[in-house]
Amino acid sequence: MLSKRIIPCMDIRDGKIVKGINFEQIREVGDPVEMGQYYAAQGADELVYLDITATHEKRKILLPLVKEIARNINIPFTVGGGISGMEDVNGLLHSGADKITINSAAVSKPQMITELARNFGSQCIVVAMDIKQTDKNGCWFVYTNGGRTKTELKAQEWARQAEELGAGEILLTSMNHDGTKNGFALEITREISNMLNIPVIASGGAGTMQHFAEVFTQGCADAALAASVFHYGEIKIPELKNHLQKQHIPVRM
Amino acid sequence: MKVVVVKYNAGNVQSVLFALQRLGITASLSDNTEEILKADKIIFPGVGEASSAMKELSRTGLTAVLRQIKQPFLGICLGLQLMCRHSEEGDTNCLNIFEEDVKRFNPHEVKTPARSIPYKVPHTGWNTINTLHGNLFKGISENSYVYYVHSYYAETGQQTCATTGYINSFSAALMKDNYYAVQFHPEKSGETGNQIIKNFLDL
């Protein structure tokens, strides 16, 4: 049976992981390869690396780093952050990334999704959406530019459009839930996941193991992504998978 | 041991080369007939679209070459599909090494009260392999997880040596004489994948 995926997400700045894991053997400011290997050994199903390097100059270290990650990790990984065109994607995929994720660039140039899908295949194009519900029971809108810019796009419309344009997967982050540790945005995740034919990765709000169970059952997510609960060791992947398995949620053990 | 990875316009060859490197093998990437025929082991990877991949193989003259290989040969993902008889993707006649046909997943095929929502396509993520037989799966237990990303699948048949269930049961792996193929990505399937690649190299 197809399993639900657990995906740790790591932010890279200037070639280093921004938040290190608080474990022994691993430095406070983590090495992306070392952390990836650690998570792969723990049973992570996939990894996401987001490059938040501010300057173009320092971004040049990303490709050799992606190559190092690919050389050392035997599970799929996605790379994103600041991708603006074909050339960026070509470089990342040729360095060994399995998928790339685009966010703001997809909103400003939706045809880019189609171009990328046509050239590299839908399976490696993940469209990331940062969404926010501006008032309770109100609409969910898409935000770009790291959550700083509100657009007039409704989450559901953009998700459907991204699929039609050729996205292979949606990474859905609720800004209302991100960082709260109060659980994922279950309703909107369910609505979008059930509406689409492509997988949806839920992100934002993971605080407990039960939150993951909820986003898979009530939220109908295909995968769940989290950062700090894993980085700080608050949730350990083997325990999390045991917890999910006890509730008959299919996970890779 | 000389391992050649067949070069054509398919993507993600790098991961296969890295997986081999992790097992201590420096493989060469080649579309040269002589080099391919001289190799000890041949790997035929691929992520891409069937009809354009077959066109590329015809253009480089590899179609005939790949059919007369005597050494252990391993197709991966699109590689497996191209080794079949025919693919629905682009209505493509393939290499016809395996007699099975390649179909597109139909998410609407299964509708039960318990499952009112259609399955998602592509089949993406970790799924289990079953009814394993043959040397490729030496030391691999039933229900081991492997990583898949695909929208087309080979039907099950005489040459199926592993199956996976998604919407319907399909060929997770095929085998005929020296020809082997897997639909999943062993290079991305953790320890299970490593073992399968190792088993192939040990053939």
**Per-residue pLDDT of chain A in tens (253 residues, 90 and over written 9):** 899 999 999 999 888 887 655 444 444 568 899 999 999 999 999 999 999 876 777 777 899 999 999 999 999 999 998 898 899 999 999 899 999 999 999 999 999 999 999 888 888 999 999 999 988 778 999 999 888 899 999 999 999 999 999 999 999 999 999 989 999 999 999 999 999 999 999 999 999 999 999 999 999 999 999 998 998 889 999 999 999 999 999 999 9
Q: pLDDT confidence of B119, banded at 50, 70, 90?
A: confident
For A114, the token pair is 């189609």
Structure confidence by residue, pLDDT tens digits, B131-161: 999 999 999 999 999 999 999 999 999 999 9
Chain A residues within 8 A of B190 when measuring between CB atoms: 40, 74-75
B87 is in which domain, residue-wise? 3-201
Chain B residues within 8 A of A253 when measuring between CB atoms: 145
Q: Specify if A19 maps to a domain.
A: yes
Residue A41: burial class (beta carbons within 10 Å; 0-12, 13-18, 19+): middle
Confirm or reject contact between B192 and chain A (CB < 8 A). no
More confident residue, B181 or B110: B181
Residue of B nearest to A253 (CA): B145
Q: Decide if A139 contacts A154 (C-beta within 8 A).
A: yes
Provide the CATH number for the domain around residue B139. 3.40.50.880
Rounded-to-integer distance, Cα A114 and Cα A163, Å: 10
Q: Which H, E and C letters describe B2-30, residue by residue? A: CEEEECCCCCCHHHHHHHHHHCCCCCEEE
- Residue B122: asked if its preceding bond is cis (omega within 30°), the reply is yes
Rounded-to-integer distance, Cα A85 and Cα B194, Å: 34
SS3 assignment, position B128: strand
Structure confidence by residue, pLDDT tens digits, A62-111: 999 999 999 999 999 999 988 988 999 999 998 999 999 999 999 999 99
Rounded-to-integer distance, Cα A214 and Cα A225, Å: 13
Residue A8: enclosing H or E segment and its boundaries? strand A5-13
B195 CB-side CA count, 13 A: 12
pLDDT of residue A174: 96
B6: phi then psi, degrees, rounded to nearest 5: -70, 130
Chain A residues within 8 A of B194 when measuring between CB atoms: 74
Confirm or reject contact between B41 and chain A (CB < 8 A). no
Structure confidence by residue, pLDDT tens digits, B19-78: 999 999 999 999 999 999 999 999 999 777 889 899 999 998 999 999 999 999 999 999
Rounded-to-integer distance, Cα B107 and Cα B33, Å: 40
Q: Specify if A79 maps to a domain.
A: yes
pLDDT at B3 over 70: yes
A9 is in which domain, residue-wise? 5-246
Q: Specify if A253 maps to a domain.
A: no
Crossing angle of helices A186-195 and A155-165, in 10° steps, is 30
Q: What is the share, in percent, of chain B residues with pLDDT greater than 90?
A: 83
ipTM exceeding 0.85, yes/no:
yes
End-to-end alpha carbon distance in chain A: 12
Residue B61: burial class (beta carbons within 10 Å; 0-12, 13-18, 19+): exposed
Crossing angle of helices A62-72 and A86-95, in 10° steps, is 30
Q: How much is the mean pLDDT over chain B? A: 93
Domain total in chain A: 1
Rounded-to-integer distance, Cα A18 and Cα A26, Å: 13
Provide the CATH number for the domain around residue A44. 3.20.20.70
pLDDT of residue A232: 86
SS3 assignment, position B124: strand
Closest CB from A72, A93, A168 relative to B12: A93
Chain A residues within 8 A of B122 when measuring between CB atoms: 122-123, 168, 198
Rounded-to-integer distance, Cα A175 and Cα B45, Å: 39
pLDDT of residue A24: 47
* d(CA A149, nearest CA chain B) in Å: 31
Read off the amino acid at residue A79. V
Q: Specify if A252 maps to a domain.
A: no
Confirm or reject contact between A2 and chain B (CB < 8 A). yes
Domain total in chain B: 1
Active site residue B150: no
